[in-house]
Chain A
Amino acid sequence: MRLNASSPWIPLALSGDIPNGTVIPATLCSKPIAIWRSQSGQVNANGNRCPHRGMRLSHGFVRGETLSCIYHGWRFGQDGACQHIPAHPDVVPPASINCGPLQVAEQDGVIWVAEDQVESQPPRLDGLKPLRSLVFCAEPEAILTASGGTEVDLGVEATLAGTRICLLLQGQAPAETLCLVLVDQATSPKACAEISRALEGIRRRAEGETEKRGAA
């Protein structure tokens, strides 16, 4: 299988999933992380745990170019460093306090995250545009089968409603796969809607297959 390709870049969201000033939870190689977009549009990723009391940072809030923890308002910059502790407004936080920043790249309408420092760019997705993201309660292999497509790096290529589509697949937990859907750049809005509906069929088949295997 090539579903887990050798690229250090993992596709974890579509650009449209994270509007300016918002944060979402995600899973990077079974590790919980938070991905957020600053007010000016810059995407950032870090561990999903405030170093103070372990609160999930994906419950936090974005102000300006910083992410704050919802528990005590500890504020983190794009480099992951703690900039401000509201309980002690006059104290400069020590540089050692940070929330585990990760490498992130936004390219072709997809947000990519890497666990370690990498020099390379994420793979290109030429001729495709993002459609939607969805989570399947199924293994990537079951989605490949249900789609009737062929395996490519990081996912599946298939034809749906007469259009070329690409599903970027990331296993997040046993029987839970994040699926980022991209379609041929020339796809009309009407065809996009049709593809979106047809995806529900793939989801039902893939989840049915996974359930059967689970029961066996």
Chain B
Amino acid sequence: MIDAWYPVGLISGLTREGRETLLMEQPITVRAGKTGKPEVVTADGRSLPIVERFGHVWTSLGTPEKDLFTIPEADHPERVLVDVGVVRVKCSPLRAVENFLDIAHFPFVHTDILGAEPHTEVEKYDVKIREEEDEVWATKVKFFQPQAAKSAEEGITTEYMYRVPSPTSSVLYKTCPPRPGEWDVICLFVQPLTETLCDVWPWMALFDEDTSMTDLIHFQQLIFLQDRSILENQIPARLPLDPGMETPTRADLTSIAYRRWLKQHGYTYGAELVAQ
């Protein structure tokens, strides 16, 4: 996992003095260099590799074998790009991603916004580990939502696609009410501070000309703070990768594939392994 790319700050939030933070327990400083370009340095002065993408500074403690993933859909010039900011959560970075991949909790955690009883059923959807891209994908996910987005006025059945392109990042493509045929892009970028503490950087690329930036940020923060109340109260704190401790159902196929993919790659930072 050391060779993966991780988000460590907003490009728009860089300062010369920099921000001290942690990446997998290593103290690092994220700052704007003399030319304004971002720099990430470790406590012992080592400069780490950098990618600037999706409004964030990304780095790695190791030697990434491949470039950071891309989201071609997000490049559309008419999209509003929303730097939501950061939320610190006392949970495993992997639990934060897994929760993002889950729709069955909408009626209970995001009540009357992303879901509502009695519309609790999760219909069959497709999940695949795409070997070529080495990513987890869930498609044809459908769910009834009372208020799917800030721009949605009444309940609709929303279609989703979920994508896990790196161990602590997830991209969600979701029906876009004002633009049928296009997808809104909502991302969860997770910075692992320790195995049981993370900084979560939500980011969005939307078609929404009417809602103010403040309202878009508030909407996403509201949703994620509801998730935080769950994430900080799961036992054990680390994500169990071996079967036995938890009971998945058909609605959890994405999570099952995510756990399997993590295990295949030995992405075990923030994971609980019973049988080692």
Contact between chains at A54 and B235 (CB < 8 Å)? yes
Please give the distance in Å from A11's CB to the nearest CB on chain B.
Answer: 24
Contact between chains at A54 and B120 (CB < 8 Å)? no
Given contacts A54-B245, A54-B246, contact A86 B233 (CB under 8 A): no
Q: Which residues of B contact A86 (CB under 8 A)?
A: 104, 107-108, 117, 120-121
**Is A87 an interface residue when CB atoms closer than 8 A count as contact?**
yes
Contact between chains at B235 and A87 (CB < 8 Å)? no
Contact between chains at B121 and A70 (CB < 8 Å)? no
A70-102 CB contact bits vs B (8 Å, 1 = yes)? 111100000000000111110100000100000
Find residues 115-132 in chain B having any chain A CB closer than 8 Å to their own CB: 117, 120-122
**Is B63 an interface residue when CB atoms closer than 8 A count as contact?**
no
Contact between chains at B246 and A51 (CB < 8 Å)? yes
Stretch in B8-16, B202-210, B247-255 with 4+ CB within 8 Å of A: B247-255
Q: Which residues of B contact A73 (CB under 8 A)?
A: 107-108, 117, 120
Please give the distance in Å from B236's CB to the nearest CB on chain A.
Answer: 7
Please give the distance in Å from A43's CB to the nearest CB on chain B.
Answer: 23
Contact between chains at B236 and A54 (CB < 8 Å)? yes
Q: Which residues of A contact B120 (CB under 8 A)?
A: 73, 86-87, 89
**Is A158 an interface residue when CB atoms closer than 8 A count as contact?**
no
Q: Which residues of B contact A199 (CB under 8 A)?
A: none
B90-127 CB contact bits vs A (8 Å, 1 = yes)? 00000000000010110111000000010011100000
Taking a contact as CB atoms closer than 8 A, the residue among B107, B117, B229, B234 that contacts A53 in the complex is: B234
Contact between chains at A87 and B249 (CB < 8 Å)? yes
Taking a contact as CB atoms closer than 8 A, the residue among B108, B247, B249, B251 that contacts A71 in the complex is: B108
Please give the distance in Å from A29's CB to the nearest CB on chain B.
Answer: 16
**Is A8 an interface residue when CB atoms closer than 8 A count as contact?**
no
Q: Which residues of A contact B152 (CB under 8 A)?
A: none
Nearest B-chain residue to A88, judged by Cβ: B249
**Is A197 an interface residue when CB atoms closer than 8 A count as contact?**
no
Could you tell me the distance between the alpha carbons of A87 and B252 in the complex, rounded to whole angstroms? 10
Q: Which residues of A contact B251 (CB under 8 A)?
A: 87-88
Q: List 8 A-B contacts (CB under 8 A).
A: A49-B235, A51-B246, A53-B234, A53-B246, A55-B230, A56-B233, A86-B117, A88-B250
What 8 A-B pairs come out closest when comparing CB atoms? A86-B120, A87-B251, A87-B104, A87-B122, A54-B234, A56-B233, A54-B235, A73-B108
